[in-house]
Amino acid sequence: MPMKGRFPVRRTLQYLSQGDVVFKSSVKVMTVNYNTAGELSEGARKFVFFNIPQIQYKNPWVQIMLFRNMTPSPFLRFYLDSGEQVLVDVEDKTNKEITEHVKKILGKSKEMLEKEERERKKLSHPATFGPKKYHLRECMCEIEGQVPCPAFVPLPKEMRGKYKAAMKNEA
């Protein structure tokens, strides 16, 4: 299957999950105004090309709109749910600087993300076993230190019901 697009690495899950901008829950819409030509919009163009897929992957419920060649200088505008609009001027900035800036003003901090991660972990206990959807392991035989699955390693004679019944009958 051929790779699609100019930089197909942008479509890989590994690349997308490397995005570290997770918006606060108050951010609803992100709008990017930029130009397709011009030295000053270069950073904005790279941002749109490389970083926006990462951001959208991490924030699937944020609407992102792109406007091309509508204003002489590029900028970002965020619409929060309180009605507040945040304007960010990105003229003459590289795409890395833009992501850093955005992460600083509207991204969830690392502590918050870690806290949420911990909360999510608390809901499920890793030691339990059951259906793959809810647990890590399906059967007790998969856990280290337990009796291996009799499908792969036959049980010793003493543990098999056949032997035990035979012994009882003998006695």
Where on the chain is the footprint of other proteins (CB under 8 A)? 25-26, 73, 86-89, 91-93, 101, 104-106
Instruction: Output 18 or 26, the one with its CB closest to other proteins.
Output: 26
CB of 115 to other proteins, least distance (A): 10
> What is the secondary structure of 99-164 as a DSSP string?
HHHHHHHHBPPHHHHHHHHHHHHHHS-TT-B--TTT-SBSSGGGSTTSPPPTTTSPPPGGG-HHHH
CB of 4 to other proteins, least distance (A): 36
Instruction: Output 20 or 92, the one with its CB closest to other proteins.
Output: 92
CB of 41 to other proteins, least distance (A): 13
Distance of alpha carbon 25 from alpha carbon 80, whole angstroms: 9
Distance of alpha carbon 128 from alpha carbon 8, whole angstroms: 39
Instruction: Output 82 or 169, the one with its CB closest to other proteins.
Output: 82
Instruction: Output 69 or 109, the one with its CB closest to other proteins.
Output: 109
Locate 169 and state its tokens: 């009958």
Q: Are 129 and 137 in contact (CB under 8 A)?
A: yes
CB of 30 to other proteins, least distance (A): 14
Instruction: Output 81 or 138, the one with its CB closest to other proteins.
Output: 81
CB of 9 to other proteins, least distance (A): 30
